[in-house]
Structure 1
Amino acid sequence: MIVPIIGNVTYSITMDPTVWIFDDRKIELGEAFSSKVNKDVNQDEVLEQAAKRWDREVYHQNVKPPVNKSISRLEGEKILTESYVMPIQDFINHAEIGSDAKEAQLITTHEEIVIPIEELKNSYFLFALEGKPLKEDGPVHLLYKDGSNQDNPIKGIQKINIL
């Protein structure tokens, strides 16, 4: 249930989608493709999030993902029933893709698919359906942020090789 990012990167990293359910960066699947998510971003919120990331990276040199420290009972019940996606951008940034990298090879259970790096950066990983990990055709599915492949995601991604 892990997905490594390897190849033309400074740091090979291993992602574990089973723990993302508790990560603050996750987005409900129903909200991921709505214009509300993209248009209602307040500039103050963007600056506040950037300041928090700066504090975490520079002052604490802490690479740990943000994790919900306390979850109410209602939030816990919601987590176990909703479907979630995770933006890929943070993971790509941590791996530090080589400046000459142009494509990403998605190695799935059935085939190998090559997509441009920019498409990978502008994507989500679907990692939970109705609060449960994707055991069939998992551990993650790739969905483009523009929603163009929402009905036909790239399924069964086992490894990402940066070319």
Structure 2
Amino acid sequence: MESIIMVTGKIKYQITLDPGVWIFDDRKVDLTSYFDQEVEKEDELEEYTKAVSKHWEREIREGAIYPPTLKTERTYERQRILNGTFGIPLRPFLENAEMSEDAQAVKFISKDSVETLPISEALEVIVGFSLNGKPLKEDGPIHVYYGNGSNVLNPIKHITKIEIV
């Protein structure tokens, strides 16, 4: 239960975050390279269309039976998940909570301190949940990385609650 993070405050829906299930979420990002690359705002529908088109093209070309290369790709993806360092954007969770019109900031409450960010910056936050394939048990359950990557070497750790104020 200590790995559960509550999102409370000036929101319509109280959200419970469980970092243990994010490893299966398609929105996860690889933190080892995320802040090194130019971040592009991508259209989810466009990305989905491209993925479906690629799959359809492969199926037409190679048939419905999965070729050995696809098995290799699955093995590689499994290894990447088992050994990777991952985070997930906080934006979808904050949007699903439906913040009040008068909300001005987001507080990231940890064991030792409180870090407050304006909503515009909090929407760009990446929440780290995995380091080298392991959950963040010692200094987690999540780490907070600013959207611009300025604290990539020193993220906010030991987060116990997120409060919209």
Q: Same fold (TM over 0.5)?
A: yes
Alignment partners' CA distance in 1, 2:13 and 2:48 = 23
Measured against aligned partners, the alpha-carbon deviations of 1:61-92 in whole angstroms (never above 9, x if no partner) come to: xxxxxxxxxx9232111111110010011001
1:18 aligns with 2:20: yes
Q: Which amino acid aligns with 2:120?
A: E
> C-alpha separation between the residues in 2 aligned to 1:73 and 1:121?
34
Computing the radius of gyration from Cα coordinates, the structure with the larger value is 2
Find the counterpart in structure 1 of residue 142 from structure 2.
140
2:94 maps to 1:92: yes
Q: Describe how 1:4-153 pairs up with structure 2 within 5 A.
A: 4-36=6-38, 38-39=39-40, 46-49=44-47, 72-153=74-155
Is contact 1:32–1:85 with CA below 8 Å preserved after alignment? no
Secondary structure, in 3 states, of the residue corresponding to 2:157?
strand
Identity %: 40
Partner SS for 2:127:
strand
Alpha-carbon RMSD across the aligned residues, in angstroms, is 1.9
State the aligned residue count: 140
User: What per-residue deviation string (whole Å, max 9, x for no partner) do you get for residues 28-59 of structure 1?
Assistant: 012211234x24x66xx5442588xxxxxxxx
Tell me the SS of whatever aligns to 1:6.
Answer: strand
| 3-state SS of 1:86 partner | strand
> Quick one: distance in 1 between partners of 2:159 and 2:44?
31
Cα 1:7–1:32 shift into 2, 3 Å:
same
Q: Which TM-score applies when normalising by structure 1?
A: 0.79
Task: Report the TM-score, using the length of structure 2 for normalisation.
Answer: 0.78
Q: Deviations over 1:84-113 (max 9, x none)?
A: 010011001100011110011111011122
Mark the runs of 5 or more structure 1 residues left unpaired by the alignment. 52-70
Give the secondary-structure state (helix, strand or coil) at the position aligned to 2:83: coil
